[in-house]
Structure 1
Amino acid sequence: MMLRRRFHSVPLTAIRASEVTEWPSEFLGLRTGLNIPGRRRLGTYRHPNGTRRLVAMKAGEPVLRNRLADIPESGGFDEPLISTPNAAEVEAELRG
Structure 2
Amino acid sequence: MTVLQYDDRRLRLDFGRWEALLLRRSHLEFPLTAIARIEVLPGWTSEVLGLRSGLVISGFLKIATFRHPSGVRRLVSMHRGTPVLRIGLAGAEFDELLISTPTAVAVADGLRVAR
Q: Shorter-chain-normalised TM-score: which range?
A: over 0.9
Moved over 6 A (4+): none
1:1-96 paired onto structure 2 within 5 Å = 1-21=21-41, 22-69=43-90, 71=91, 74=92, 76-96=93-113
| Paired-residue identity, % | 54
Counterpart secondary structure, 1:16? strand
Separation (CA, whole Å) in 2 of partners of 1:7 and 1:92: 22
Displacement of 1:7: 1.2
State the SS of the aligned residue for 2:82.
Answer: coil
Let me know the Cα RMSD of the aligned residues.
Answer: 0.7
What do residues 62-91 of structure 1 show as CA deviations (whole Å, max 9, x unaligned)? 00000001x2xx2x1000110000000000
Q: Scaled by the length of structure 2, what TM-score is found?
A: 0.78
Please tell me the residue identity of whatever aligns with 1:30: L
Give the letter for the 1:82 counterpart.
Answer: I
Where does the alignment leave 5 or more consecutive residues of structure 2 unmatched?
1-20
Report how far residue 2 of structure 1 moved. 0.6
**Partner secondary structure for residue 9 of structure 1:** strand
Q: Helix, strand or coil for the counterpart of 1:23? A: coil
For 2:105, give the aligned amino acid. Answer: A
For 2:33 and 2:84, how far apart are their aligned partners in 1? 20
